[in-house]
Every structure is written in C-alpha cells, then in structure tokens.
C-alpha cells in the first residue's frame, strides 16, 4: 500500500511541475493553468494528511479538511473566472497574451 510520503512526494512533484510551467512559459493562459495545477497539488496534500490523520493509516475523525478543500475548489473557480476576465480585458487592451510584452510595470 502507498505511504503518506509517496502521496506528499507526488503532490510536491505536481507543484514543482506547475512552478516550472509558470517560470518557463510565456503564454499567460498557460501560466494560469499551471497556477491551477499548483493549487490542486496543495489540495492533494490536504486530503492526504486527512486520510492519514489518525496515525495508523486511518482517516481523521472530522471532515474539516474535506470542507476546506471544497471551499478552496469553489474559491478557485471564482478566481479562474475573474482571472480569465482580466486576461480578456488585457488582450483587448494590448492584443497579446505574452508576458514579455506586458512590461509596463518596469521600474
């Protein structure tokens, strides 16, 4: 049977892949997808800790962890909607989705 460490490692890898995507890609939509991946990795960690919460491979008593994950998913959905709307507005204003072209904040 898989151990808690394996789950945590898998979730860490997913997070790292997401981070690499954010670092390397220039398309802002794909960067946004990678952000979602990182968020999901965190969810996986939460659920894993819940499942191994009892100390001997049995789930913890309460359901707070799952409720938290549920809320995270819901908030993430709202975030995606707003984020995509911002991307659309940005695209209208600048006609680009490449982050290298979006450098008006350069100091």
Site residues for another protein, window 1-30 (CB under 8 A)?
1-10, 12-27, 29-30
Whether residue 40 contacts residue 80, with contact meaning beta carbons closer than 8 Å, is answered with no
Query: Residue 101, interface with another protein (CB under 8 A)?
Result: no
**Footprint on residues 29-88 left by another protein (CB under 8 A):** 29-34, 36-37, 40, 43-44, 47-48, 50-52, 55-59, 62-64, 66-67, 69-71, 73-82, 84-88
Whether residue 85 contacts residue 79, with contact meaning beta carbons closer than 8 Å, is answered with no
Number of residues that bind another protein (CB under 8 A): 82
Rounded Cα distance between 59 and 61, Å, is 6
């Amino acid at each position: 049977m898989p151990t808690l460490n394996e789950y945590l490692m898998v979730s860490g890898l997913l997070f790292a892949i997401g981070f690499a995507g954010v670092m390397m890609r220039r398309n802002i939509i794909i960067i946004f997808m990678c952000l979602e991946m990182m968020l999901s990795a965190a969810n996986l960690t939460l659920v894993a800790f819940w499942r191994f919460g009892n100390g001997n491979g049995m789930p913890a008593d309460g359901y707070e962890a799952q409720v938290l994950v549920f809320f995270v998913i819901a908030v993430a959905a709202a975030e995606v909607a707003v984020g995509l709307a911002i991307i659309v507005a940005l695209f209208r204003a600048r006609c680009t989705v490449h982050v290298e072209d979006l450098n008006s904040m350069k100091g």
